[in-house]
């Protein structure tokens, strides 16, 4: 069975996340378009990719692991990806967020240096935005310490997790992989988040950050299917109306 992975360091690979809100009734139509997008990114240096569908809403995430490249090459890649998405995907979905991330730590049950997941797995994921560079420096290390401490307590089917930092924004995200949705819910409902977070972060930082959380199902990983796909390579730019203002997921306040 094919799998997708995110390494615990960004030495050789970096990860991108495209967050969409579907505008079509049938979600399969959007997933099929993103599958074709996945196949077309291979020639651009995407090592593997996956599609996550929100269990609680209309959010869909496409994530990919890329061979690292220079800033100039990254800008060229951005333009190419925008063109590919504009041609087909953005006619049936709204892109509300997009960013490249560097992984800086993680843990796995089997000792492997990656967070690996398969189609049908459950992904719990948070996004935390901060107002300053100093805040995110403190928060990024705190998030890794919190994850490693809690990973040992995640009983059941939790297999791995990874922490990532945005390359351009004051944002971190954390992703945990589960084999059972029930185990994921059980852990979430049993955790006292103030008890978990307060020992690691100043209360002022906690109150100022924007924290969002959601649970996803892995709907596709690259290698699942092989389909011919051709995207128009003519350059395009995103219309402002197609770009939203954030990673809209379930929002939990810690105060």
In a domain, 149, yes or no: yes
What predicted TM-score, i.e. pTM, was given to this entire model?
0.84
Domain count, the chain: 1
Distance, in Å, from the CA atom of 100 to the CA atom of 110, rounded to the nearest integer, reads 27
In a domain, 2, yes or no: no
Which has the higher per-residue pLDDT, 103 or 230?
103
In a domain, 233, yes or no: no
Which CATH number characterizes residue 77's domain? Answer: 3.30.70.100
Please give the residue range of the domain that contains residue 56.
Answer: 9-223
Which has the higher per-residue pLDDT, 33 or 230?
33
Taking only the tens place, the pLDDT of each residue in 208-240 is: 889 899 999 999 999 876 543 334 433 333 333
In a domain, 231, yes or no: no
In a domain, 247, yes or no: no
């Amino acid at each position: 069975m094919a799998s997708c992975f995110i390494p615990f360091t960004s030495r050789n690979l970096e990860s991108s996340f495209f967050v969409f809100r579907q505008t079509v009734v049938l979600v399969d139509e959007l997933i099929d378009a993103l599958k074709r997008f996945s196949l077309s990114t291979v020639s651009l240096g995407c090592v593997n990719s996956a599609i996550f569908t929100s269990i609680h809403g209309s959010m869909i995430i496409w994530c990919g692991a890329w061979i690292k490249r220079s800033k100039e090459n990254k800008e060229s890649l951005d333009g190419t990806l925008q063109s590919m998405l504009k041609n087909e995907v953005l006619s049936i979905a709204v892109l509300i967020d997009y960013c490249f991330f560097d992984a800086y730590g993680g843990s796995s049950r089997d000792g492997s240096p990656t967070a690996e997941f398969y189609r049908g797995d459950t992904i719990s994921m948070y996004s935390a935005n901060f107002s300053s560079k100093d805040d995110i420096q403190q928060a990024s290390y705190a998030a890794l310490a919190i994850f490693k401490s809690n990973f040992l307590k995640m009983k059941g089917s939790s297999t791995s997790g990874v922490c990532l930092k945005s390359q351009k924004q004051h944002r971190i995200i954390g992703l945990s992989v589960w084999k059972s949705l029930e185990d994921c819910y059980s852990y979430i409902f049993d955790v006292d988040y103030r008890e978990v977070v307060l020992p690691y972060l100043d209360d002022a930082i906690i109150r100022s950050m924007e924290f969002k959380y959601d649970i996803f199902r892995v709907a596709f990983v690259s290698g699942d299917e092989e389909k011919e796909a051709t995207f128009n390579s003519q350059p395009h730019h995103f219309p402002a109306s197609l770009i939203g203002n954030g990673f809209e997921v379930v929002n939990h306040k810690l105060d």
